[in-house]
Amino acid sequence: MAKKVTQTEFDRMSKKLAYLKKEGREEIAARLQEARSHGDLSENAEYDEARNDQAKLEEEISQLEKDIDTVEIVDEDFFEQGVVHIGSLVELEDEGEILRCVIGSSSDDDTLIIISDDSPVGSAIIGKKAGETFKVNLPSGEVATMKVISTEYKRG
């Protein structure tokens, strides 16, 4: 099943991929060159760290390419205001704690919790409105009760 993303999220993924492929690779190449200039590579921790970072970067690029090739873009024009859907900003109450979340797979805001729409919580919250309480079957076997405090969607 293809992961569903908004056009905004697809554009964000594409922009990040382009950045990693150009600037990310250039940065790693510069670090590798600098580390090589320090001599013996067999005992060069700086070189080893740069090689490890290069492997992580290439894995991230590969994953983003795979994700971009397989996603399904959902039409934001049909999103009903006040209803939780992919891309929604949600305030969620969980055991008395208020969590600020985004439904989907990424966000430009590092203060938000990202809830995948195909996770137990993500699947359960899609279609809910502010004020609704819902139950979630957690992987641990427990059942959690959560409440949507507010939801909004900001296009683009």
pLDDT in tens, 11-25: 888 999 999 999 999
- Topology match between the domains 4-74 and 77-152: no
Q: How far apart are CA 138 and CA 20, in angstroms?
A: 35
The class of domain 77-152 in CATH terms is alpha beta
Q: How far apart are CA 119 and CA 122, in angstroms?
A: 5
The residues spanned by each domain of the chain are: 4-74, 77-152
Residue 88's nearest CA partner among 72, 105, 102 is: 102
What are the helix (H) ranges across the chain?
A: 7-19, 25-36, 45-70, 120-125
Q: Quick check: helix, strand or coil at residue 45? A: helix
Q: What is the DSSP string of 127-152?
A: T-BTT-EEEEE-TTS-EEEEEEEEEE
pLDDT of 27 over the 90 cut: yes
pLDDT of the residue at 15? 92
Architecture of domain 4-74: Orthogonal Bundle (1.10)
pLDDT in tens, 33-83: 988 887 776 777 888 899 999 999 999 999 999 988 988 887 665 566 678
**21, 61 contact by CB (below 8 A):** yes
Q: How far apart are CA 150 and CA 96, in angstroms?
A: 15
- Could you identify the residue written with the tokens 């203060």? 111
**What single-letter amino acid sits at 58?**
E
